[in-house]
Chain A
Amino acid sequence: MTPVLEIAHITKRFDGKTVLDDVSLTIDKGEIKVIIGPSGAGKSTFLQSINFLVKPDSGTIHLNGLPVNPKDKKALYGYRQQVGMIFQDFNLFDHLTARANVEIGLVRVRGMKKAEARKRAEAELDRVGLSEHMKKYPAELSGGQKQRVSIARALAMDPQVMLLDEPTSALDPELIGEVHAVISGLGKAGMTMIIATHQIGFARALASEIVFMERGRILEQGSPQKLLSPDCTTRAREFCSQILDANGEDR
């Protein structure tokens, strides 16, 4: 089976500092890869270079076996539609209602008719449990609600794969659960996802594979069992213990 995404040998330097050092990752349909690692490890830059919001210095990306050429603008815009992106700080369009946030991509990018787009937007918002808040503006929504709108906005584009860049890091603790529930639901429905997170418990429960990054490289990669069970001596395990100790989180 052809992998959905095949990311090979991505390298990125900022001002002479190597942020991504030959990073490769392959993801099959329905897989959920969770990237963990300390701040500054390059998780976010890696996710953003997958859809070329950050232009990698070298490396290649194949979607369903076909190479992506970021220099071809039209191909790039088409590719980005297939790759949904969720940001740490939501990035909803502040001047549009929740519903219009979901509609705008359908109308502007996919050329859908306004009425059809509206129906689709309402269905997606319903799916993330926000039908009552469709007409609210981002300023009137809680962080958790905003993140769910942004997930609905990405889903409406029918992506082949979703990239989630620390989707709950900017949320108050009591709001994290509602967003995790939506993401878990997506996973159960078979969505292919790459998620960067500091939420270890969530990572362990959801991941088909844990990817541990540090200093711009992937150091360890394997099932949650293999990397995170209490008796292993992996670097990932050590890192997680530090987080869990600091949080007092239940192991």
Chain B
Amino acid sequence: MEELVYLQTQVMPALLRGVRVSILLIIPSASAGVLLGVLAGTVRVYAPAPFRWLAGAYTLTFRGFPLIIQLYIWYFGLPRLGIYLSPFVASVLGFSLCSGAYQSEYIRGALLSIRQGQIRAAQALGFTRLQTIASVILPQAFRRALPGCGNEIIYLIKYSSLAYMVTCIELTGEGKILASASFKYIEVFSVVGAVYLVLVTAASWALSRIEGYLSLPGFETHKG
């Protein structure tokens, strides 16, 4: 009985609060990550050399630095330069830049898989370079990149738990506070873990819906 009351009055409200913050972190970070990834990936394949190097350096840095270090820099480091970010904004910034670096690799791989003939056909019709990329290459490459991009979003859902290290109290943060107060680590973190599982399952479902929606003959997501 006591347990139930504890769950109802303490755990549930805290976790609901936490889930809400987590979702608010994940959605903009995942979206910005995909956009940054498309941009950086495209630049790395098709832009002139200096831009290619710049985008390459971005990917190298943000995949190379541990994410927690990046978050520390955005949140604890930037004030030194007079820039104060809220824990939430610092987290979204950190997640977006990191996710974008990983996404750019999936996009780059997909761009490289598009046959040269597609580009030649567009050129022969009088397409500009930008038109060729935007209306012929990217729509095909994005479909090919989708499974990988989805995978990165699933990762993002879980590494969003690092936000509480820069005092943005999301799901894991709320769990940590509850557990520290009650010493019911197993109970609390089992529930927290299960909530992530639910989030990941929902995301997988949504992603496979998107894959299905974008699926075309020749671009099927499952080969029969």
Contact = CB atoms under 8 A, between A and B. Distances in A.
Contacts of B217: 136-140
A80 B120 contact: no
A95 to B, nearest CB: 5
| Size bracket of the B interface | 20 to 34
A92 interface: yes
Residue among A81, A89, A93, A154 with most chain B CB within 10 A: A93
A105 B135 CA distance: 10
Interface in A81-117: 81, 83-85, 87, 89-95, 104-105, 108-109
B118 A94 contact: yes
A109 B126 contact: yes
A81 B121 contact: no
A131 B38 CA distance: 36
B219 interface: yes
A40 interface: no
Size range of the chain A interface in the assembly: 20 to 34
A137 B216 contact: yes
B44 interface: no
A150 B118 CA distance: 12
A78 interface: yes
Contact of A108 (B117, B118, B121, B127): B127
Contacts of B86: none
A53 B126 contact: no
Interface centre among A48, A77, A95, A140 (most CB of B within 10 A): A95
Nearest to B125: A105
Interface of A: 48, 51, 53, 73, 77-81, 83-85, 87, 89-95, 104-105, 108-109, 136-140, 150, 153-154, 157
